[in-house]
């Protein structure tokens, strides 16, 4: 086997053999296949796709590159959630402690930002002292004592995916459906959770722009999970508009705490509860009431214990960007569109994301929304506030925003897109 022949097979629209897939994943993990060679293969997969047999084998090879975990010692049923990534998608932060407060154990292995989408670990690292990297023993201890843990996948869990995940972020291959499906499901199957709910985003701010692509990805992942003995269901959710009123790391943590305190934006609360009900149902806890757990403070209690258990201070002040720039409404009327992708790119350019896999992120950078589609705005009122520590980034971020929103005359009919569009099981 050699990398060039594998690349040529997929470049020429051929089907990779099981032997080719096993070899290239193993060789890349060991460093025998270089980053530039895997980049070429990833681009060929993006352009030419993979069939179901190839995707299943690729996923199995990713799992085989490392260890498999087990939560058999826990007394609670395990259930997990994964989002394919969006703008302002802070749902994991309130969701994990909420589901734990209802009686399940939530082993939430999360990732960092990919392209214009935010990363859960990047958000949580804006909390002073919080640690993303835990050993398997530490992860199990936090899970056992608090009911929920949000952390990075350990080095032993699908190490091939850890390398490829970072590479996809900086080579324009994030959107490849086979690579998204195998990346997500290799970690989740190796993680050992009993049930999995997938939040597959669809819209301008998602990697899946059309409902057809979102269905294809969701169906592929549901099949991979089900075939591996993991009860798996997917919700297709809207990502044409940013979720909530913030896109950025510390900004989104602040908003998540508002949700746990019984407030927060309506769309964030609605999706958090919808996913919580699916997770609890999949775990066999159909009678649990997540809405009550939000209202009575028990979800907040789990959040505080979970953050503390990972070294964070839940009472510490969150970072605030040193500089702000306000964009005002150019006219009065109804805000009918606010493009999620454009907002995500602006947040990324302000420092909330990374252009290279080794780049740091700014904890306080991002975009704050002062109105959502359907709201009445008046000329001159704040529409967006840009946050960054480096004001020279404002000009670059602003280039992403012209044409990112529409304001129609007052009285224009407006029909909101549902937050949850479809369910696939």
CA 319 – CA 352 distance, rounded (Å): 12
Can you spell out the DSSP letters for 227-278?
Answer: HTT-EEEEEEEE-SS-STTEEEHHHHHHHHHHHHTT-S-HHHHHHHHHHHHH
Helix then strand then coil, % of the chain, to nearest 5: 45, 15, 40
Distance CA 314, CA 330 (A): 39
* Residues whose CB is less than 8 angstroms from the CB of residue 368 and which lie 6 or more positions away in sequence, other chains included: 245, 246, 248, 251, 384, 385, 386, 387
Residue 179: strand, helix, or coil = helix
Active site (annotated) includes residue 89: no
Inter-CA distances, 278 with 3, 116, 252, 257, Å: 42, 27, 23, 22
Cβ–Cβ under 8 Å, residues 206 and 344: no
Active site residue 325: no
Cα–Cα distance measured from residue 154 to residue 132, given in angstroms and rounded to the nearest whole number: 10
Please confirm, yes or no, whether 168 is among the known catalytic residues: yes
349 annotated active-site: no
Q: Which of 83, 182, 183, 256 is catalytic?
A: 183
* Other CB atoms within 10 A of residue 395 CB: 10
Q: Which bin fits 319, alpha (ψ -120 to 50), beta or left (φ > 0)?
A: beta
Q: Give kind and range of the element (H or E) at residue 140.
A: helix 136-146
Task: Select which of 22, 122, 161, 169 is catalytic.
Answer: 161
DSSP, collapsed to helix, strand or coil, labels residue 216 as: helix
Decide if 161 is catalytic.
yes
Which sequence positions are flagged as catalytic? 82, 161, 168, 183, 187
């Amino acid at each position: 086997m050699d990398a060039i022949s594998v690349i040529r097979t997929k470049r020429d629209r051929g089907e990779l053999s099981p032997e080719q897939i096993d070899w290239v994943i193993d060789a890349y993990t060991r460093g025998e296949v270089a980053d530039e060679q895997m980049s070429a293969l990833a681009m060929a997969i993006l352009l030419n796709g993979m069939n179901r047999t190839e995707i299943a084998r690729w996923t199995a090879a990713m799992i085989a590159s490392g260890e498999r975990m087990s939560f058999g010692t826990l007394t609670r049923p395990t259930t997990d959630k994964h989002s394919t990534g969006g703008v302002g998608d802070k749902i994991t932060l309130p969701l994990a402690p909420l589901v734990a407060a209802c009686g399940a154990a939530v082993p939430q292995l999360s990732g960092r930002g990919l392209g214009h989408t935010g990363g859960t670990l990047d958000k949580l690292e804006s909390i002073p002292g919080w640690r993303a990297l835990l050993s398997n023993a530490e992860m199990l201890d936090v899970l056992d004592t608090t009911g929920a843990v949000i952390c990075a996948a350990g080095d032993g869990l699908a190490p091939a995916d850890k390398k490829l995940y970072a590479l996809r972020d900086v080579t324009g291959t994030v959107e490849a459906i086979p690579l998204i499906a195998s990346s997500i499901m290799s970690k989740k199957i190796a993680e050992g959770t009993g049930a999995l709910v997938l939040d597959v985003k669809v819209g301008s701010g998602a990697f899946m722009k059309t409902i057809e692509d979102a269905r294809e990805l969701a169906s592929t992942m549901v099949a991979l999970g089900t075939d591996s003995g993991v009860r798996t269901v997917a919700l297709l959710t809207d990502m044409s508009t940013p979720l909530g009123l913030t896109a950025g790391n510390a900004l989104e943590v602040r908003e998540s705490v508002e949700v746990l305190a019984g407030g927060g934006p309506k769309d964030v609360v609605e999706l958090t509860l919808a996913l919580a009900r699916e997770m609890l149902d999949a775990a066999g806890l159909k009678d649990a009431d997540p809405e009550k757990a939000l209202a009575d403070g028990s979800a907040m209690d789990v959040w505080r214990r979970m953050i503390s258990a990972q070294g964070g201070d839940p009472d510490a002040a969150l970072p605030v960007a040193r500089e702000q720039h306000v964009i005002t409404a150019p006219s009065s009327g109804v805000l009918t569109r606010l493009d999620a992708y454009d907002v995500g790119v602006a947040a990324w350019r302000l420092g909330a994301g990374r252009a290279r896999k080794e780049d740091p992120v700014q904890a306080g950078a991002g975009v704050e929304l002062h109105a959502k589609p359907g709201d009445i705005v008046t000329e001159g009122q704040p529409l967006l506030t840009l946050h960054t520590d480096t004001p020279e980034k404002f000009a670059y971020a602003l280039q992403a925003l012209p044409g990112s929103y529409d304001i129609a005359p007052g009285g224009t009919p407006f029909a909101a897109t549902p937050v949850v569009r479809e369910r696939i099981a």
